[in-house]
């Protein structure tokens, strides 16, 4: 019999019961909650007079529409000027208080983006099943955890039953071999993967990311890769557990201690695909060939290397794809064959659940240190992923580097990734963004998003247009 994939193992250890038609109940070890996709779930519980099945598996924090300016944050929930956002954050607080769920409220140092907070607290552990009413829950797969983004009805279902109704997905392996060049990061790797397999390339699959490049990445880098599995259509992204994973988890507040720690580490050693495991799909990339990436269109698959040109629809033979390119170019205000480096920028955003961790901020700070943001930019924002990331960055003096270079240093939250708070693009504005989606209107009505790594966003902030960050490395202060 063929060996098991990591996904097979995680599925098997969480299977509660299997139905004849292939659907199954799988047990959920951790649910993360935020203000946008939970209010209707709590309301559903109340209407049906149901109680959460197991309180200690839930952890909540507001992130999507909290303000990120210092002044607004000093007043707590009262500082939220948008009355509709305020109701949503207050509702999360009230629901967590009523049901007895642990919440890191807005004023708590541990508050932040759910996908930054969970791992940072050790609330995400290898071998767990993790769910959250957010598609970027795939992030937690970086720990060898089976993490699903779910809808609000499923949030309610997990609260009430501790289970998710699921159907086993197909196994897909994306292997990135070789070595990354200097200035090429996890974000470039995942953008290159999506560029290769497309936004529907992983539909119906759990993608395991493997190969030398992935093995050498830090946990932060692996989270960036798994985070964007959904942008390739896969609800689940995974990386096998190794020493890097165990080192990261050790000593975190929610991590097991003492005897349980030793037991857990022994169990986690099994969390990798067996050598003879069979995958339904395998995609290989040569990491050595990956260049810094920039998205030019309105779907994450519309991405090219920094030294490339904006595509010419005339060169596309498939009529559906040609129309897609034409529509994207029109929305983005770009011309065919225009060099990527000629795209002038209005704003820069460094943050989001994809790239707001300490390593991301260090990479951006290293580029802007001793330099100044281009005078043509309207705004360059740095939004740390959590209060603890912010604190760490300030201990290292990164905040001063950003501020001296002319970037704004903000309070933690999702911010301009989806523009539910006041941080947004104006119509027609181009933004170099370290977030995950460049859909039409994502960062603001009529806004034009270009997805890049933190280092590339920092370089773009200095130049006012896209530049190859490698040209700026080692030339600064």
Partner 1 sequence: MKKFIQHQGIAAPMDRANIDTDMIIPKQFLKSIKRSGFGPNLFDELRYLDEGQPDQDCSARPLNPDFVLNQARYQGCSILLARDNFGCGSSREHAPWALEDFGIRAVIAPSYADIFFNNCFKNGLLPIILTDAQVEQLFVEVQSNEGAQLTIDLQRQVVIHAGGSEMHFEIDGFRKHCLLNGLDDIGLTLEHAEAIRDYEAKRAVDAPWLFPSA
Asked whether 473 and 182 are in contact (CB, 8 A), the reply is yes
Q: Which residues pair with 59 in a beta bridge?
A: 32, 102
Instruction: Please choose, out of 67-75, 255-263, 270-278, 345-353, the segment that lies near partner 1 by the rule CB under 8 A.
Output: 255-263
50 near partner 1, rule: CB under 8 A? yes
Letters for 379-408 (x = contact with partner 1 by CB under 8 A, - = none) are ------------------------------
Interface with partner 1 (CB under 8 A), residue from 241, 420, 457, 461: 420
Q: How many of the chain's residues bind partner 1 (CB under 8 A)?
A: 80
Interface with partner 1 (CB under 8 A), residue from 21, 71, 276, 477: 21
The angle, 0 to 180 degrees and rounded to 10, between the axes of the packed helices 398-405 and 387-395 is 80
Query: Judged by CB, which is closer to partner 1: 199, or 218?
Result: 199
Touching partner 1, residues 300-319 (CB under 8 A)? none
Could you tell me how far CA 364 lies from the centroid of its own chain? Answer: 17
Letters for 230-249 (x = contact with partner 1 by CB under 8 A, - = none) are x--xxx--------------
Asked whether 164 and 26 are in contact (CB, 8 A), the reply is yes
- Closest contact distance (angstroms) between CB of 328 and partner 1 is 10
- Closest contact distance (angstroms) between CB of 252 and partner 1 is 12
Q: Could you tell me the two tokens for 246?
A: 């165990």
Q: How many CB atoms lie within 10 A of CB 422?
A: 16
Instruction: Please choose, out of 67-75, 254-262, 341-349, 385-393, the segment that lies near partner 1 by the rule CB under 8 A.
Output: 254-262
Best CA proximity match to 310, nearest among 285, 287, 332: 332
| DSSP-derived 3-state class of residue 123 | coil
Touching partner 1, residues 109-168 (CB under 8 A)? 125, 127-128, 133-135, 137, 149-154, 156-157, 160-163, 165, 167
Q: Could you tell me the two tokens for 426?
A: 């104006």
| DSSP-derived 3-state class of residue 255 | coil
Touching partner 1, residues 436-455 (CB under 8 A)? 437, 439-442, 445-446
- Closest contact distance (angstroms) between CB of 82 and partner 1 is 8
Interface with partner 1 (CB under 8 A), residue from 79, 178, 181, 204: 204
Burial of 258 (0-12, 13-18, 19+ CB in 10 A): exposed
**Beta strand spans in 89-239 (E):** 102-103, 129-132, 146-149, 163-167, 170-177, 205-210, 236-238
Touching partner 1, residues 29-48 (CB under 8 A)? 29, 36-37, 39-40, 43, 48
- Closest contact distance (angstroms) between CB of 282 and partner 1 is 20
**Alpha-carbon gap, residue 186 to 216, rounded angstroms:** 10
20 near partner 1, rule: CB under 8 A? yes
Query: Judged by CB, which is closer to partner 1: 13, or 392?
Result: 13
Which strands form 205-210's sheet, in the order they lie side by side? 236-238, 205-210, 170-177, 281-286
- From residue 69, how far is each of 75, 210, 351, 422 by CA, in Å? 11, 39, 14, 9
Q: Could you tell me the two tokens for 310?
A: 């904006």
Touching partner 1, residues 60-99 (CB under 8 A)? 64-65, 82, 84-85, 87-88, 91
- Closest contact distance (angstroms) between CB of 437 and partner 1 is 6
Touching partner 1, residues 163-192 (CB under 8 A)? 163, 165, 167, 169
256 near partner 1, rule: CB under 8 A? yes
| DSSP-derived 3-state class of residue 118 | helix
**Alpha-carbon gap, residue 89 to 76, rounded angstroms:** 10
- Closest contact distance (angstroms) between CB of 368 and partner 1 is 29
Best CA proximity match to 412, nearest among 111, 200, 61, 208: 111
Burial of 93 (0-12, 13-18, 19+ CB in 10 A): middle
Query: Judged by CB, which is closer to partner 1: 5, or 88?
Result: 88
- Closest contact distance (angstroms) between CB of 406 and partner 1 is 28
- Closest contact distance (angstroms) between CB of 134 and partner 1 is 6
């Amino acid at each position: 019999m063929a060996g098991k994939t990591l996904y097979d193992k995680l599925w098997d250890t969480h299977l509660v019961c299997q139905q004849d038609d292939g659907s199954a109940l799988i047990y959920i070890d951790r649910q993360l909650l935020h203000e946008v996709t939970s209010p209707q779930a709590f309301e559903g519980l109340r209407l049906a007079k149901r109680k959460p099945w197991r309180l200690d598996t839930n952890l909540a924090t507001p992130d999507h529409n909290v303000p990120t300016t210092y002044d607004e944050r000093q007043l707590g929930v009262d500082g939220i000027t948008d009355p509709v956002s305020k109701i949503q954050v207050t509702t999360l607080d009230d629901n967590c208080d009523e049901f007895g769920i642990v919440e890191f409220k807005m004023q708590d140092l541990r508050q932040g983006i759910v996908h930054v907070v969970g791992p940072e607290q050790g609330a995400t552990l290898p071998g767990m099943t993790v769910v959250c009413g957010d598609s970027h829950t795939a992030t937690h797969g970086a720990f060898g955890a089976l993490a699903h983004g779910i809808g609000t009805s499923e949030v309610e279902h997990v609260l009430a039953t501790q289970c998710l109704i699921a159907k086993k997905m197909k196994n897909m392996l994306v292997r990135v071999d070789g070595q990354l060049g200097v200035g090429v990061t996890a974000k470039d790797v995942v953008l290159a993967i999506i560029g290769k397999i497309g936004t529907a390339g992983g539909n119906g699959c759990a993608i395991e990311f493997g190969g030398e490049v992935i093995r050498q990445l830090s946990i932060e880098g692996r989270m960036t890769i798994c985070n964007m599995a959904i942008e390739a259509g896969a609800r689940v992204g995974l990386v096998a557990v190794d020493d890097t994973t165990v080192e990261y988890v050790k000593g975190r507040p929610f991590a097991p201690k003492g005897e349980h720690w030793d037991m857990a580490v022994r169990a986690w050693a099994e969390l990798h695909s067996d050598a003879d495991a069979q995958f339904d799909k395998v995609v290989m990339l040569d990491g050595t060939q990956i260049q810094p990436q920039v998205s030019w269109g309105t779907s994450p698959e519309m991405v090219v290397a920094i030294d490339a040109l904006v595509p010419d629809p005339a060169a596309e033979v498939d009529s559906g794809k040609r129309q897609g390119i034409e529509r994207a170019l029109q929305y983005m205000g770009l011309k065919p064959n225009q060099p990527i480096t000629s795209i002038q920028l209005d704003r820069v955003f460094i943050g989001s659940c994809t790239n707001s961790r300490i390593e991301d901020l260090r990479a951006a700070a290293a580029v802007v240190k001793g330099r100044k943001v281009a005078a043509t930019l309207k705004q360059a924002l740095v939004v740390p992923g959590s209060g603890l990331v912010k604190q760490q960055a300030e201990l290292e003096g990164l905040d001063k580097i950003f501020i001296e270079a002319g970037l704004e240093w903000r309070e933690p939250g999702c911010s301009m990734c989806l523009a539910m708070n006041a941080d947004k693009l104006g119509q027609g504005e181009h933004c170099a963004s370290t977030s995950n989606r460049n859909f039409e209107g994502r960062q603001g009505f009529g806004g034009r998003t270009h997805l890049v790594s933190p280092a590339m966003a920092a370089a773009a902030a200095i130049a006012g247009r896209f530049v190859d960050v490698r040209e700026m490395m080692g030339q600064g202060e």
